[in-house]
Amino acid sequence: MATPDAKRITHTMERLSKCKIELLKGYARSEKRHSQMLRIVSGTAWVSMDGEDRILQPGEELKLSHGKHQAVISATGDAPLVYEFCDCQE
């Protein structure tokens, strides 16, 4: 049986984990919104969410708050887009 400290450490590790996703030029991906932070690692992203479009460059971040609709993330420019999420719920 896990101790309370072990459970807390596991929860913290899950909460801070990241997943990198790569998209090639011209491709798009729909992402569910779970109060997470989208961070652009490389390439240029076109993010469409709630009727607004944003262009993000490497190092820029955008909070994807809970919402009714998914966010659509597209790769623009010649370089592949690499982005990651980190959970920002507290």
Residue type, 41: V
Q: What is the bridge-based pairing of β-strands 28-31 and 81-87?
A: unpaired
pLDDT tens per residue, range 6-52: 444 333 344 444 578 899 888 999 888 777 889 999 999 999 988 89
Class of domain 19-87: mainly beta
Question: And the tokens for 63?
Answer: 């909070």
Percent of the chain with pLDDT over 70: 76
Q: CB-based burial of residue 29 (10 Å sphere; 0-12 exposed, 13-18 middle, 19+ buried)?
A: middle
Question: Where exactly are the structural domains of the chain?
Answer: 19-87
Q: How far apart are alpha carbons 18 and 45 in whole angstroms?
A: 18
pLDDT tens per residue, range 43-77: 999 999 888 999 999 999 998 877 777 889 999 98
Mean pLDDT of the chain: 78
Q: pTM for this structure?
A: 0.72
